[in-house]
Amino acid sequence: MYLTLILFTCFSIKTFSCTIFTASSNSIVLAGNNEDMCTTNTEIHLIPGSNDKYGRIFWGFIGDENYQGGMNEYGLFFDGAGTQKVNMSKSELPEFEGRYIMETILEKCKTVEEAITFLKKYSHPSLQYAHELIADATGDAAIIEWGNNKLNFIRKGDKKYLIATNFNISESKNIHNECKRYNIVESILSTEEPSLKSFEKALSLTHQEGNYGTMYSQIADLKNKKIYLYNFHDFSNRYEIDLANYLNSGEANYIIRDLFPENFSESNFRMRSDCISQLAEIPTQKVTFKIKSDVEVPGSNISIRGSAAELGKWNQDGVIFNLNEKHDGSKTIYIKKGTLFDFSIYADNRKYFAVDRDFERLKEIVVEVKSDTTISVNVGNWKLKE
C-alpha cells in the first residue's frame, strides 16, 4: 500500500503490512491484495470511460490524495506497497504532473507494456519509499521499483506468479529472508492453481490484525473484469463487482463497509482503535449533545466520556460543560466524519453517573457521525458513585 500522507504509508514494515500478488493460467488471471492501515475509512470509486479515458474502479481511503489501487475496463490492475527508503539519484526526466501517475495509467493504458512505456517517460520520486505491482488480462505483470540506482521492472520470468510485500526486491540479497508474508503467498501460488479459493487462502493467511490491521482486501479477475471485495479481513463474506455493469450505472462512490453485513470486530475497532481523528484531510461535523434531566442536576457541570478522541478516549475527565439550567445542559464539539463512538454521562465532576427512572445505569450510547448531528439524552436521575 502506498499513500502520499505520511500517516498512511506502509514504510514502517513492523506495523504496515500490505500484500499484493498476481498469478495466471491458461484460463484465468487474478490479482489480489490486502490493504493494511489504522483506519476503516475506506471506499471504492467507479468512474465511467470518456472520449480519452478508460472506465475504471479505484480503491483506497476516504480523504486521501491518491488511491491505493485500481483496475480499468481492459483488466489493467495496479496496487502499491511501501518499502524502506532507498537512495535515489536526481533524474533528468520530468516528474509527472497531475493526479497520481498510476491512476493516469488506468485512464490511458490497456496492458502492462503500454504502462511501462508510459512510466519510462517520467521520474518517480515516490519509488524511494514504495513499489507498484501492475498486471493485465493477458497474464503479463511487473513490479516497478527503484533499486541499485536505477528504475527496475521485475517480471514473472519462468514463474506463473509475482508477489510484492514491503521490501525492495531489487536490492534484496535473499528475498526469502525478507518477509514471512511473501513466503506464505509464494508457497500457495507455486503449488496451487490460481483460483478464488487459493487467492482467498493466501489473503487470509497473510492478513494482519491489531492497530494496523487488514482493512479491506480484493481479488481482481482481470479477464472477466470483476472485483471480489472483502471487508476487515472477513473472507466469509464476498461482494462481487462486475465492472462493466457498475460503470454503466454512472460514476459512484461506495463506503466499503456499507456493502457488507455489520461486523462486530470492525465496529469495535472503529470505536477503540481507529486513527480517523488524526487524519487532517477528513472533515469534521458538528455534534451537539443535549442533556435533559427529570431532576435537578447535582453540582454545576455535566461531563461526557466516550471512545472518540474528541471525547478523551474514555480518559478520566472527558468533555466537561456547564449547565444551561438546573435540569439541562448542552455542548457542541467537532468530531471527524465517519467516526463511530460510544459515550456515557456524568455530573458534578464525575461524582454522579446518569441513571433512568428505575435507577438503572444508562447504557453507553453508540453514535456514527455521518453529518451534523444532535444527540438528545433524557436522564431519569443521578446516582452517587461509590
Write the pLDDT tens digit of every residue in 201-217: 999 999 999 999 999 99
Write the pLDDT tens digit of every residue in 119-145: 999 999 999 999 999 999 999 999 999
Say which residue, 226 or 64, is predicted with more confidence: 226
For residue 340, what is its C-alpha cell? 463511530
Task: Reply yes or no on whether the pLDDT at 324 is more than 50.
Answer: yes
C-alpha separations of 197 from 114, 189, 228, 308 in Å? 31, 11, 12, 38
Quick one: pLDDT at residue 16?
Answer: 54
- Domains of the chain as residue ranges with CATH: 6-275 (3.60.60.10), 283-384 (2.60.40.10)
Quick one: pLDDT at residue 272?
Answer: 95
Q: What predicted TM-score, i.e. pTM, was given to this entire model?
A: 0.91
Q: Which residue has the cell 472483502?
A: 230
> How far is Cα 81 from Cα 132, in angstroms, rounded to an integer?
6
* 3-class DSSP string for 251-276: CEEEEHHHHCCCCHHHHHHHHHCCCH
C-alpha separations of 201 from 135, 165, 215, 239, 282 in Å? 20, 16, 17, 16, 34
How many residues are there in the chain?
386
The enclosing H or E element of 185 equals: helix 180-189
Write the pLDDT tens digit of every residue in 167-176: 999 999 999 9
